[in-house]
Amino acid sequence: MGRPFCFGGTDTMALRHFLRLSDLQADEARRLVDRAIALKTSLKAEQRPLLGRCLAMIFAKSSTRTRVSFEVGMAKLGGHALMLATAQTQLGREEPLSDTAKVLSRMCDAIMIRNDSQADQEELALHSRVPVINGLSELHHPCQLLADVQTWFEHRGDPRGKVAAWIGDGNNVCNSWIEAAKLFGFTLRAATPHQYRPIAEVLKFAGKSVELLDDPQQAAAGADLIVTDTWTSMGQEAERAERMQILAPFQVDRKLMSKAAKNAIFMHCLPAHRGEEVTAEVIDGPQSVVFDEAENRLWAQMALLEFLLVP
Ligand code: CP
Ligand code: NVA
């Protein structure tokens, strides 16, 4: 499977780690220093459109991809990202979001927030003078969809007119897939238990672009893409046992993948739980593009930051 637009990684190089300086040979260490000096003097300002700009990243929930992709993306664009774990800020001691928005707006150029309240994100945005980016709420995960749609384009061309099948929990990522269906002109068949349907607001937004189904097999039939996510999102840990039971018939396995189009791809925003929402055979198999999705968080969000911050 080609990955023409993904620049990260060095598939043809032997795997190397940098866990200590002595992991490098002496000549390699010298070359690295030379290269650092060359970059410092030759990198042009216009190639670093966010030079001197700062992104505040508020995290009330765990993250690997979102944190790393924003932080690395800001660095690549010439800017800087600040990690603000809620509990270690005054937000954790009940300073109002409105005051926090005003303070961060005076010092930072954008704010990214991950928490469990879309309403609070909206409140933050209302009082912010700088762009606020949703890095995941209980209702949406829009950055994930920029990366996922990019990945679909890269592997199979324009998704317009195609069919994606969401299998499992009608959660935050599902809601954003539904909005993507409308925006990019594909159909999203969502097969979820009736207890875990996507929210009415996105169904209304998407109109005929979304179809709600009970049966995963029916959703997967002939689909160009199969996508799922964890059965227990962050904050739902107390419901885990019940969710495992209700969602068990929605596992993406080889049999379900065989119902899809022959060249269908499999997506998952990660982190994944092999043996629960997806079998190892599928997520680690040839139809899976999950690590391209993960990498594309970086490129998609760099484009987003430029879009939001560079006139
Ligand atoms: N997909 C995603 O948002 O991953 P993280 O929770 O690691 O940020
Ligand atoms: N639905 C998951 C997505 C994690 C990236 C959650 O909210 O925990």
Mind listing the pLDDT tens digit of every residue in the chain (311 residues)? 333 333 333 344 577 877 787 777 877 877 767 665 764 566 555 578 899 999 999 999 999 999 999 999 899 889 999 999 999 999 999 999 999 999 999 999 999 999 999 999 999 999 999 999 999 999 999 999 989 999 998 899 999 999 999 999 999 999 999 999 999 899 999 999 999 999 999 999 999 999 999 999 999 999 999 999 999 999 999 999 999 999 999 999 999 999 999 999 999 999 999 999 999 999 999 999 999 999 889 888 888 888 888 88
Per the CB < 8 A criterion, the answer to whether 164 and 252 are in contact is no
* Tokens 């912010």, located at residue: 128
pLDDT at 20: 86
Report the amino acid identity of residue 290: V
| Residue 170 C-beta-side C-alpha neighbours within 13 Å | 24
- Starting from the CA of residue 69, give the closest ligand: 1
Nearest CA to ligand 1 atom 4: 65
- Whole-number Å distance, alpha carbon 22 to ligand 1 midpoint, is 32
* Structural domains of the chain sorted by starting position, each given as residue range(s) with its CATH number in brackets: 21-141+295-309 (3.40.50.1370), 145-293 (3.40.50.1370)
| Distant-in-sequence, close-in-space partners of 168: CB < 8 Å, separation ≥ 6 | 174, 191, 192, 196, 228, 229, 231, 247, 250, 252, 277
Residue from 269, 287, 292, 301 carrying the catalytic annotation: 269
Per the CB < 8 A criterion, the answer to whether 169 and 230 are in contact is yes
pTM of this structure:
0.88
pLDDT at 72: 92
pLDDT at 113: 95
- Identify whether 30 is a catalytic site residue: no
Q: How far apart are CA 179 and CA 148, in angstroms?
A: 13
Q: How far apart are CA 268 and CA 252, in angstroms?
A: 11
Q: Is 270 in the pocket of ligand 1 (CB under 6 A)?
A: yes
DSSP-derived secondary structure letter, 15: P
Give the 3-state secondary structure of residue 189. Answer: strand
pLDDT at 7: 33
pLDDT at 6: 33
Report the amino acid identity of residue 228: T
Q: Is 147 in the pocket of ligand 2 (CB under 6 A)?
A: no
Give the 3-state secondary structure of residue 263. Answer: coil
pLDDT at 52: 93
Q: Is 219 in the pocket of ligand 1 (CB under 6 A)?
A: no
Q: Is 63 in the pocket of ligand 1 (CB under 6 A)?
A: yes
Query: 99-110 b/e with 16+ CB inside 10 Å = b?
Result: ebbeebbeebbb
Per the CB < 8 A criterion, the answer to whether 246 and 235 are in contact is no
- Whole-number Å distance, alpha carbon 149 to ligand 1 midpoint, is 16
